[in-house]
């Protein structure tokens, strides 16, 4: 029986309906915070409450306790910090949620920036005892630059902390965004009784789980703030204070407006204790109701809408050796439109050729499962034989290329030396891999070449991770010689007659992994002086992405 044009049209319409429905139920978000605010603990507890794990691990756990699921790398488990972004996926209330756990330490802000490029929303975790901290400000600015909406999670309410009005004002005064408390706390520390939900009119009673790694039963009491039955759970003085404070909040701040939230003008806030499993259900319900579905993505020649038929995605992360038994390398894709099907052929914009996407995976940290199809908003891991770089675009149909992902300018520099000269090949392989992951940047002196590269990082802790991984994953025991440089600037000549390699700038000139010229400086004064006295016709750029866009 032959297929008619009507049948084909109906089939395409049905496929479009599936794509629209599936992309519409995707929610992709990242968690950001200052170190030790409770970001990884929150990640663990979200997995617990969505049924992904039976018992949540601890960030700093004793030997017999579970480690945090999202902190899968050995150095993370040893130090109790997150040093790489982790991808976690789960279902909740009919939604397919992609959670991107990011490093909190400022030395890994570049990895966090790349991860935020793949998110449609963010959750900002704030320690209720400390308020807004420096790293929170930096990451919030990245979210604002991307225009993504932000939830606020005031954490550690079971400990003595700042007044809730102070915390709200802190967010508004420092981050310049209206903070709208969806829940309001009753007490803090030893006198913390729970929160009143302004949208549902419920009091959520604080009763921590008997074991921190297991779910707590959250008791909800439907009542007005002045209902006498509240006195069964809180003190009379606390009820009077709650009534007064809720009136102030309503008068000064008003109700929650979803459109203002999606526009990035307000941030809904909840007061919680992730370690004690309190407020997780409230947050999940709030997130599932208000978080945006996949959004259009800026691209050339025009923005890509998630409902488009054609498949498109970009690479935002590369990670090697997630499975030490196989020494594999995964490229993480954010799907932006259409439908992914395992073993499909796609066009690689940078390479200009067709490649097949095989061995597709989805993740719970380093644990993986094969995935046969995915839609806009999903995060995929694809086995990478060396085809991909961070920022690459993959697509079917008409040509498209998403805006690239810039690298930050390094601020710490060093050179590696080998304790065992016979390990040079392994060292070169390790450095090449870590460079492609974006952990370090590699620079070569023209007269030395690849044998003895200069390495640059944004924060010095990245060097510690590099040394650990070289030893752990490549069997290389190296020594790091710190170099005095603090700044790097990429150089482009607008005048073809200028030969950069022939210039005497009195500072080291090196080439990056793309073959672009870079000048290294030991101080800001030296950098400014060199630029001021350099020949006319030179352009000085702060990163390789900007340099690659300059003709």
Average pLDDT over residues 68-88: 51
Element (H, E) at 252: helix 236-252
% residues pLDDT > 90 (the chain): 52
Does the model's pTM come out above 0.75?
A: yes
Is it the case that residue 65 has pLDDT exceeding 90?
Answer: no
Give the model's pLDDT for residue 212: 55
Between CA 107 and CA 178, with CA 120 as vertex, the angle to 5 degrees is 85
Bridge partner residues of 442 (DSSP)? 455
Average pLDDT over residues 53-80: 47
Lowest mean pLDDT segment, chosen from 4-13, 142-151, 531-540: 4-13
Average pLDDT over residues 91-115: 80
Measured CA to CA in angstroms, residue 337 lies from 15, 120, 303 at distances of 13, 14, 11
Q: Tell me the pLDDT tens digit for each residue of 34-55.
A: 878 888 888 888 887 777 665 5
Is it the case that residue 529 has pLDDT exceeding 60?
Answer: yes
Average pLDDT over residues 289-317: 94
The neighbour count for residue 489, using CB atoms within 10 Å, is 21
Element (H, E) at 544: helix 544-549
Give the model's pLDDT for residue 364: 61
Q: What is the mean pLDDT of the chain?
A: 85
Average pLDDT over residues 57-85: 46
Binning pLDDT at 50, 70 and 90, where does residue 105 land? low
Is it the case that residue 286 has pLDDT exceeding 50?
Answer: yes
CA dist., res. 82 & res. 101, Å (int): 9
CA-nearest of 416, 422, 404, 419 to 442 is 416
Give the model's pLDDT for residue 519: 95
Instruction: Give the relative orientation of helices 109-116 and 134-146 as an angle to the nearest 10 degrees.
Output: 30
Q: Given CA atoms 380, 381, 384, 388 in this order, what sign does their dihedral have?
A: positive
Is it the case that residue 66 has pLDDT exceeding 60?
Answer: no
Encoded tokens for 4: 């008619």
Higher pLDDT, 460 or 236: 236
Residues with Cβ within 8 Å of 320's Cβ and at least 6 positions away in sequence, in order, are 327, 328, 329, 330, 433, 434, 437, 473
CA dist., res. 320 & res. 329, Å (int): 4
Q: Assign 256 to helix, strand or coil.
A: coil
Give the model's pLDDT for residue 2: 58
Sheet arrangement for strand 194-197: 183-186, 194-197, 202-205, 219-222
Average pLDDT over residues 427-443: 90
Binning pLDDT at 50, 70 and 90, where does residue 536 land? confident
Residues with Cβ within 8 Å of 490's Cβ and at least 6 positions away in sequence, in order, are 512, 516, 517, 518, 540, 541, 542, 543, 544, 546, 547
Domains and CATH numbers, the chain: 26-290 (3.40.50.300), 299-402 (3.40.50.300), 412-549 (3.30.70.3280)
CA dist., res. 365 & res. 547, Å (int): 34
Average pLDDT over residues 76-82: 46
Between CA 126 and CA 134, with CA 132 as vertex, the angle to 5 degrees is 115
């Amino acid at each position: 029986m032959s297929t008619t044009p009507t049948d084909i049209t109906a089939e395409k319409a049905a496929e479009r309906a599936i794509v629209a429905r599936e992309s519409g139920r995707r929610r992709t978000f990242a968690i950001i915070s200052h170190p030790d605010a409770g970001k990884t603990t929150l990640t663990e507890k979200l997995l617990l409450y969505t049924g992904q794990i039976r018992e949540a691990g601890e960030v700093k756990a004793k030997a017999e306790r579970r480690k945090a699921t999202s902190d899968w790398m050995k150095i993370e488990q040893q130090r109790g910090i997150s040093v790489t972004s982790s991808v976690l996926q789960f279902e909740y209330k009919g939604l397919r949620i992609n959670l991107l756990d990011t490093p909190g330490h400022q030395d890994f802000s570049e990895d966090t920036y790349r991860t935020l490029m793949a998110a449609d929303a963010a959750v900002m975790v704030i320690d209720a005892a400390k308020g807004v901290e420096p790293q929170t400000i930096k990451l919030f600015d990245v979210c604002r630059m991307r225009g993504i909406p932000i939830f606020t999670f005031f954490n550690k309410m079971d400990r003595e902390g700042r007044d809730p009005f102070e915390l709200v004002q802190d967010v508004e005064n420092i981050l310049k965004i209206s903070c709208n408390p969806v829940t309001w706390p009753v007490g803090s520390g030893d006198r913390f009784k729970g929160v009143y939900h302004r949208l549902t009119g419920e009091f959520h009673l604080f009763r921590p789980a008997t074991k921190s790694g297991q779910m707590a039963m959250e008791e909800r009491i439907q009542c007005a703030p002045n209902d006498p039955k509240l006195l069964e759970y809180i003190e009379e003085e606390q009820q009077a204070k709650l009534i007064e404070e809720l009136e102030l909040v309503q008068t000064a701040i008003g109700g929650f407006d979803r459109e203002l939230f999606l526009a990035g003008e307000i941030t809904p806030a909840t007061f919680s204790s992730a370690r004690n499993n309190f407020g997780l259900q409230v947050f999940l319900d709030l997130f599932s109701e208000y978080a945006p579905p996949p959004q259009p993505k800026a691209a050339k020649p025009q923005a890509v809408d998630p409902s488009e038929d054609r498949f498109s995605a970009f690479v935002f992360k590369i990670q090697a050796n997630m499975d030490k038994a196989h020494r594999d390398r995964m490229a993480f894709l954010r799907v932006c439109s259409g439908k992914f099907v395992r073993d499909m052929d796609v066009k690689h914009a940078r390479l200009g050729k067709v490649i097949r996407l095989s061995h597709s995976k989805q993740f719970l940290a380093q644990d993986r499962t094969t995935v046969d199809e995915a839609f806009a908003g999903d995060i995929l891991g694809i086995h990478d034989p060396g085809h991909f770089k961070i920022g690459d675009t993959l697509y079917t149909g008409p040509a498209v290329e998403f805006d690239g992902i810039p690298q930050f300018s390094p601020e710490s520099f060093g050179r590696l030396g080998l304790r065992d000269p016979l390990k040079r090949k392994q060292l070169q392989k390790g450095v090449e891999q870590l460079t492609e992951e974006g952990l370090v940047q590699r620079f070569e002196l023209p007269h030395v070449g690849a044998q003895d590269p200069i390495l640059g990082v944004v924060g010095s802790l990245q060097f510690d991770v590099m040394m650990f991984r070289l030893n752990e994953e490549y069997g290389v025991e190296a020594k790091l010689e710190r170099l005095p440089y603090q700044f790097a600037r990429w150089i482009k000549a607008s005048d073809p007659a200028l030969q950069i390699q022939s210039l005497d700038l009195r500072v080291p000139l090196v080439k990056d992994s793309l073959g672009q010229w870079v000048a290294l400086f030991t101080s800001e004064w030296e950098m400014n002086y060199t630029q001021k006295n350099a020949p006319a016709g030179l352009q000085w750029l702060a990163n390789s992405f900007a340099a690659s866009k300059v003709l």
